[in-house]
Amino acid sequence: MSNSNPVKRLDLVVVGGGFGGMYAVYKFREMGLNIQAFEAGGGLGGVWYWNRYPGARVDLPSIDYCFSFSEEVQQEWTWSEQFAAQPELLRYINFVAERLDLNKHFQFNTRVVSAVWDELRQLWVVKTNKGETYEATYCVMATGPLSVPKEPDIEGYKTFKGETYHAARWPHEEVSFAGKRVGVIGTGSTGIQIVQEVGPKAGELFVFQRTPSFTMPMRNQKLEPEYVAEVKRNYAGLREAARNSAVGGLRPQSTRAFFSVTPSQRQALLEDSWKQGGLAMLGTFSDLLYNPEANEHVAEFVRGKIGEMVKDPVTAEKLKPKGYPIFARRPCLDTSYYETYNLPTVHLVDCLEEPIVEITEKGVRTEGREIELDMLIFATGYDGLTGALLAFDVVGRNGQKVNDKWREGSRSYLGLMMEGFPNLFMTTGPNGPAALANIVAISENDVNWIADAITHMDKQGLSAMEPTKKAEDDWMAIVASLGQRSLLTKAKTWYLGANVKDKPQGLTLFTGGFHKYREFCAAATQNGYANFSFAKRDKSAAA
Ligand code: NAP
């Protein structure tokens, strides 16, 4: 330690400036804790700071996808669209930051490079890439489930001499597509949004599709002032309903099983949900994630719609997803994705028939040809759920690293804490409902839970807490048994770690719904923290 760079002692460190980090900073500051937060980006927003790609837009209703903890904020902010685009989301994030004076607690453009538990002193030693060291009683990892972009695993991907972009690291400057031959690799939620936006603007667009996704009409709308006023009048009730729903939002859900109604009624309901748009279809029947036969009927309905929208029957056939259940991959919402393929300048390259061999200086070489391009866009996804926490050294009790603990797959209690890592908390962590429910609602739940835990420790004169091994094992058994019932395991997705080479495979998301997750979180508090072990504040050695 040099005198010019002294160690700073804090109560709590927050890593990450997305929704989780923002609320954590607010909550713990209001509790009077001495805090410091770090964010690798140049501003707040997490995913919405980085993902400035053309067409980026949230696929949950804006009125849900925002903070509920501040009545002032939710009354003062007005959403303009049912599904907000990235610029509006970022404006909202900056509005909240300014309104609640959050920026001053963040050090931007700063990465935490290590966090090491000091057992003797019962604190975390946190180092940054700026050469600073902080010591804190608590560490909150608000590092997000989708913050580490996946490097494209394609031979020669750095050799391309044209313009290259990764959707998750899009530049702040405007990118022009006019007159250019553009290639997009990837057709998940991100690729679909890019294709429908860039297709009409590019000279020519080549879409490299390996696995087709199911996408449904978003049917986005401008929000009428009367509707917004009504929402604001009723926000308290709407938020309560969202917190008690499986998805943490106001999506209709049904208790009607698919085969409980006649074929013509089913058809009418599906047509109706298609017209409604959004994720209405998923909520029309209760068993689409559990009953493969029901699921296949719905998949076939959507394939029929693709056939109606895409004029060229060969292209339509290639765009129809087959071989995995609908909704097992993240369902996408689009505005004009399929219609984009009716443009004479837009070409689908089916990488199942014609696999990519390598990226060259000039473009993409498939098994059949070299496609010359001016620009290449990677929409190849993320090292999801665990990538961010494994990207730096997190060392708990007895020198155990998270990397070692998660060697066979992520393990935690409630996605909030890990045995062996005292006073280390996660928001929207793996083994929780992240990715399957509203991330803002989960973040608020998690930060509130952490705040209660810290208050409990403070009142009881405790210096450290961690879940017992049994609590963690029991939780992981619940996550596994619920996951086995779900069709989510039947597709190769980032939910399962299938998109990252050598990553442990398996569904480590809680599939029981956000409402049930909240019940488990509340029970872990209400039973007097029986599932945790604690160390007393006056102890000089760790428990
Ligand atoms: P993703 O769903 O993982 O999709 C990545 C795509 O890249 C897949 O089509 C994948 O094909 C393809 N790919 C990867 N490596 C490839 C290779 N070597 N060759 C050819 N294709 C390759 O990632 P994402 O689209 O970024 O979406 C991730 C998540 O972010 C979503 O599930 C969603 O939760 C979130 N998201 C949400 C929104 C929204 O709110 N509207 C928008 C964007 C993202 P394979 O499937 O064959 O591997």
DSSP string, 344-389: TTEEEEETTTS-EEEE-SSEEEESS-EEE-SEEEE---B-TTTHHH
Ligand 1 centre to CA of 80 (Å) is 27
Residues 317 and 408 in one domain: no
Ligand 1 centre to CA of 192 (Å) is 9
pLDDT of the residue at 543:
36
Residues 171 and 268 in one domain: yes
Residues 334 and 371 in one domain: yes
Residues 440 and 490 in one domain: yes
Q: Is residue 351 part of a domain?
A: yes
pLDDT of the residue at 252:
80
Q: Is residue 238 part of a domain?
A: no
Q: Is residue 441 part of a domain?
A: yes
Residues 133 and 282 in one domain: no
For the chain, which ranges sit under pLDDT 50? Answer: 1-3, 540-543
Q: Which of 210, 220, 318, 353 to mutate to test the pocket of ligand 1 (most atoms within 8 A of CB)?
A: 210
Rounded CA gap, 95 and 70, in Å? 13
Residues 415 and 344 in one domain: no
* CB distance 443 to 23 below 8 Å: yes
- 433: CATH: 3.50.50.60
pLDDT of the residue at 151:
81
Beta bridge partners of 393: 114
Q: List ligand 1's pocket residues with C-beta within 6 A.
A: 57-59, 146, 152-154, 185-191, 193, 208, 210-211, 330, 351, 356, 379-382, 435, 494, 499
pLDDT digits (tens, 9 = 90+) for 296-318: 999 999 999 999 999 999 999 99
Q: Last residue of a domain, which of 378, 395, 422?
A: 378
Q: Is residue 237 part of a domain?
A: no
Nearest CA owner, ligand 1 atom 22:
186
* CB distance 207 to 323 below 8 Å: no
Ligand 1 centre to CA of 540 (Å) is 49
pLDDT of the residue at 4:
64
Residues 296 and 405 in one domain: no
* DSSP per-residue codes, 197-210: HHTTTBSEEEEEES
Residues 125 and 208 in one domain: no
Nearest CA owner, ligand 1 atom 24:
381
Domain range for 80 is 2-148+384-542
Ligand 1 centre to CA of 382 (Å) is 7
Provide the mean pLDDT of the chain: 96
Which letter does DSSP use for residue 186 in this model? -
